[in-house]
Amino acid sequence: MVINMLYKNTLKKIKKSFGRYISLFIIVMIGVGFFAGIQATTPDITDIADKYYKENNLFDFKIVSTLGLTDQDVNAIKKLKNVSTVIPSYSLDVLNKDKAIRVHAIEEGVNSFKLEDGRMPEKDDECIADSKTYKTGEKIKITSDTDKKLKNKEYTVTGTVKTALYLAEDYGNTTIGDGKLSSFAFINKDNFIIDAYTEIYLIEAGTVKTAAYSKEYDTEASKLKDELLKIKSDRENARYQEIYTKADSEIRKNETKLKDEKEKGEKKLADAKATLDENAGKLEKGKVELIANEAKLKRNTEKQNAEFASAKAKISTGWKDINNALNQNKLKKEELNTKISELNSAIGGMKVQLSQLPAESPEYIKLNATINQYSEMQKGLIKLKESITELTTQEAKLDKGIKTFNGEIAKAAKKIEEGKIRIS
């Protein structure tokens, strides 16, 4: 009876607000439809994602440390039971103008990528980059301070790629620039000059046969995670101790150096004091010597200047004699070589003619006399030339000597003046 009344009341309410009932019914049906669609497509989406991850060898775990990672860390991880692939690598956040990008080392066996355009880098100043941001042939100029962690600060994009490392529109955060990571690039591993690895990529042994996002995957991944947590503390302490030992050794080395330098400084100070005491006794003696040296310098200067004046007079007389000889021969100094050559040619020609004449003939005697006259003239001109050369050399030596002497006198006078200043 109660149920019948409930049905009747329900039917009455539906009839009174039939439009509202239909609207609610449709909304519920759409919700159920969406839910059923999502439930049906979720396995397909996860299957596609899993296939993509495996094709690109996407890592299962990424190990990072603020103190950096070493080969000892790599070896310790390789010994774990549930790890199949261990690849140490490098990455660095830099600024390309005002945009923050992450530069990765190209690795084989993990985090593969699809080349959309161009080719792989062949040189250290080449890279492959995000196909959403860059085009082949563009330049990436690093404007931030890399603290000598990279060989180059400019790279040519030889190809563009897509990678499983960056699937979402948001590439993540960074500690430089505006705090937002805008893009990425890959370069040859040799470009990095960092002492320690920045990250280690791991692939778990059992995840190869399980699907991503599945309970089986989580179970397999947790095995390696548990092993990593077990060695985490030991590896952190070992790395800390390594850095501490290195720093302590450097401190001790600098302390020893400081002690040695302090002892050397104290010895130098004592030596300097002894020298000052000794020099104080020499000061008065230096004043007397300085006055004597100044007088001696003046006498030597006057004597040498007199000798220079005498030498100049002799050279001047020599030039007068040479000019008189040139005037007698009606020659200029620059014509002397030409005249000697002309006489030499004339003598040679006359000797040829002389050889063709009878020895006792008047022509022979006359020509022979001319040859002798020309020869004497040539000898005189040659001697005159030699005199000019010698006099020129002597004059140059004299000028050089005067210049050198004046320079030394100036130095000596300067030293005397400096001595006066030090003594006063």
One DSSP character per residue, 77-144 reads HHTSTTEEEEEEE-EEEEEETTEEEEEEE--SSSS-EEEEEE----STTEEEEETTT--TT-EEEB-S
Q: How confident is the model at residue 351 (pLDDT cuts 50, 70, 90)?
A: confident
pLDDT-based confidence at residue 50 (cuts at 50, 70, 90): low
Q: Where are the domains of the chain?
A: 53-246, 283-423
State residue 119's pLDDT score. 93
pLDDT digits over 83-110, tens only?
988 999 999 999 988 899 999 999 988 8
Cα 186 to its chain centre, rounded Å, is: 22
Whether the predicted pLDDT of 357 surpasses 70:
yes
Mean pLDDT (the chain) is 81
CA-to-CA dists, residue 216 to 23, 58, 211, 219, angstroms: 43, 17, 7, 5
Provide the pLDDT for residue 236.
Answer: 86
For range 308-317, the mean pLDDT: 76
Q: Is 152 helix (H, G, I), strand (E, B) or coil?
A: coil
pLDDT at 197: 93
Question: For the residues of 378-411, what is the DSSP string, one character each?
Answer: HHHHHHHHHHHHHHHHHHHHHHHHHHHHHHHHHH
Give the pLDDT band (50/70/90) at residue 6.
low
Using CA atoms, how far apart are residues 6 and 42, in angstroms rounded to an integer? 41
Q: What is the mean pLDDT of residues 135-139?
A: 94
Instruction: Name 69's bridge partners.
Output: 197
Whether 158 and 121 have beta carbons less than 8 Å apart is answered as yes
pLDDT for res 295: 74
3-state secondary structure of 155: strand
CB crowding 358-392: b at 16 or more within 10 Å, else e: eeeeeebeebeeebeebeebbeebeebbeebeebe
Between CA 368 and CA 361 the distance in angstroms is: 11
Tell me the residue type at 110. V
What is the sign, positive or negative, of the torsion defined by CA atoms of 403, 406, 407, 408? positive
How many Cα atoms within 13 Å fall on the side-chain side of residue 229? 6
Q: What is the mean pLDDT of residues 27-48?
A: 60
Listed in sequence order, the residues at least 6 apart from 91 whose beta carbon sits closer than 8 Å to its beta carbon are: 102, 103, 104, 105, 198, 199
Task: Give the type of residue at 168.
Answer: A
Report if pTM > 0.85: no
For residue 186 the two structure tokens come to 């890959």
Please write the tens of the pLDDT for every residue from 231-270: 888 888 888 888 888 888 888 888 788 888 887 877 887 7
What gap in Å lies between CA 315 and CA 394, rounded to an integer?
Answer: 8
CB 93 within 8 A of CB 217: no
pLDDT tier for residue 32 given thresholds of 50, 70 and 90: low
pLDDT class for 136, splitting at 50, 70, 90? very high
Rounded Cα distance, 91 and 95, in Å: 13
d(CA 192, CA 64): 17
Q: What phi and psi values does residue 112 have, to the nearest 5 degrees? A: -70, 170
Q: DSSP per residue over 208-273, as a string?
A: GGS-TTSHHHHHHHHHHHHHHHHHHHHHHHHHHHHHHHHHHHHHHHHHHHHHHHHHHHHHHHHHHH
What is the percent of the chain with per-residue pLDDT over 70, rounded to a whole number?
Answer: 86
* Residue 58: pLDDT over 80: yes
Going by pLDDT thresholds of 50, 70 and 90, the confidence category of residue 401 is confident
Residue-wise pLDDT for 172-225, tens only, equals 899 898 889 999 999 999 999 988 999 999 988 888 788 777 788 888 888 888
Residues of the chain above pLDDT 90, percent: 21
Cβ atoms of 77 and 224 within 8 Å: the answer is no
CA atoms within 13 A on the CB side of 390: 9
> Looking at residue 18, what is its pLDDT?
64
Is the pLDDT at 35 greater than 60? The verdict is: no
Angle separating helix axes 215-328 and 362-423, nearest 10 degrees: 130
More confident residue, 39 or 312: 312
Task: Please tell me the predicted confidence (pLDDT) of residue 248.
Answer: 82
Say which residue, 358 or 37, is predicted with more confidence: 358
pLDDT at residue 154 in the model = 93
Q: From CA 410, how far away is CA 138, in angstroms rounded?
A: 65
Residue whose C-alpha is closest to residue 104's, from 183, 222, 219, 203: 183
Residue 166 has what pLDDT? 87
Task: Please give the pLDDT value at position 97.
Answer: 84
Residues 6 or more apart in contact with residue 405 via CB below 8 angstroms: 304, 308
**Alpha-carbon distance 54 to 49, whole Å?**
9
- Taking alpha carbons only, the member of 222, 367, 411 closest to residue 403 is 411
**From residue 375, how far is each of 73, 334, 340, 348, 379 by CA, in Å?**
101, 21, 10, 10, 6
Q: Is the pLDDT of residue 42 over 60?
A: no
Residue 354 — pLDDT band, cuts 50, 70, 90?
confident
**Higher-confidence residue: 322 or 69?**
69
pLDDT band at 47 (very low <50, low <70, confident <90, very high): low
